[in-house]
Amino acid sequence: MILTELGLLPQVVKRGYYCNDQSIQHEFKGDTISTVTILLSGLVPVVLIWLTEALLYTPSINLSKTETESRSRGSWREAWYWSKKYGRGLITMLVIIGTIKIFLGELRPHFLTTCVPDVVCNGTEYVSSYTCTNTKESLYFVRDASKSFPSGHSAMSVFEAIFLIWYLEKRVPRLRTLFTIPLLQMFLMCWAVFCSLSRITDHRHHWWDVLAGTLAGFIAAFMTCKFGCHNFDASKRKRKTSLYNDHDHKLINTGSGNTAAIGTPLHKDEINLNNVIHA
């Protein structure tokens, strides 16, 4: 995908067009939200997650009874864990969307003015063979005019918004003001809506491209939060530290008549002991 985006590989799909197709004859006048801006916005959830965990982390809630950890180390661990889940979900979605763009090759609303085909087109004629002659723009931008579906901006902005809204709802405790979290969540959703609609008004995408990108972002965020993050329930996480830190002291009565020494109590809610393996 990267080689194709950089123009090092030939264009996979080259769609034709009708001469009287008004939907691809708009002029490109710039992006309200540029590609650099939307990519940088992807770092906002990471920063917000780290700030939230650093300020509001509570060891008694995030750790079991057998675990001890400093507050700073614990907040760092939690922030890193949720950031990884966010990053994996976002990158996976973007790779899928980028692949779809390459293999569908739908023409953007500004295709004709960007490509400038070397074909004299009249009436309702269908043009299937052409060559772009625009040398004023970069090769990447000219080829990008054939990658309209689905909207990557819409998908990314919706993914960011849904993930953060869900994260704030589940991970942030009730604050003294009832409007802090809802206002922040509303701002995040407004960002997603504004970013998506700007792709239509800028003539960068058709409305169905934006709709598909919005659905893709929502589905990807839902799957990441529900199945990847387990609804942001820290108790369902698989921790690397074992509860059996010391087998010589944490023994339990087997019920077979041999009573073993009992050390530090284990968390009954997290362990279901049916058998004891004697080392």
Q: Look at residues 38, 37, 53, 57 and name the one whose alpha carbon lies nearest to residue 85.
A: 53
CA torsion angle for 21, 27, 30, 36 (degrees, to 10)?
40
Q: Where are the domains of the chain?
A: 1-60+67-235
Amino acid at 49: I
Q: What is the DSSP string of 72-138?
A: HHHHHHHHHHHHHHHHHHHHHHHHHHHHHHHHH-PPPTTHHHHH-BSS---TT-EE----B---SS-
Which residue, among 6, 215, 27, 208, has the nearest Cα to 104 in the 3D structure? 208
Q: Confirm whether pTM is higher than 0.75.
A: yes
pLDDT at residue 211, as a whole number = 98
Q: Which residues of the chain have pLDDT under 70?
A: 58-70, 174-177, 237-279
Distance of CA 120 to the CA centre of its chain: 43
Of 204, 208, 228, whose CA–CA distance to 38 is shortest? Answer: 204
Question: What's the pLDDT at 246?
Answer: 40
The token pair at 34 is 């540029």
Report residue 120: phi and psi, to 5°.
-85, 115
- Report how far apart, in Å, the C-alpha atoms of 42 and of each of 36, 46, 86 are: 10, 8, 10
∠ CA 98-101-104, nearest 5°, is 145
Q: pLDDT for 162-208, tens place per residue?
A: 999 999 998 887 665 678 889 999 999 999 999 999 999 999 999 99
For residues 191 and 193, give the distance between their C-alpha atoms in angstroms, rounded to a whole number.
Answer: 6
Contact, 4 vs 102, CB < 8 A?
Answer: yes
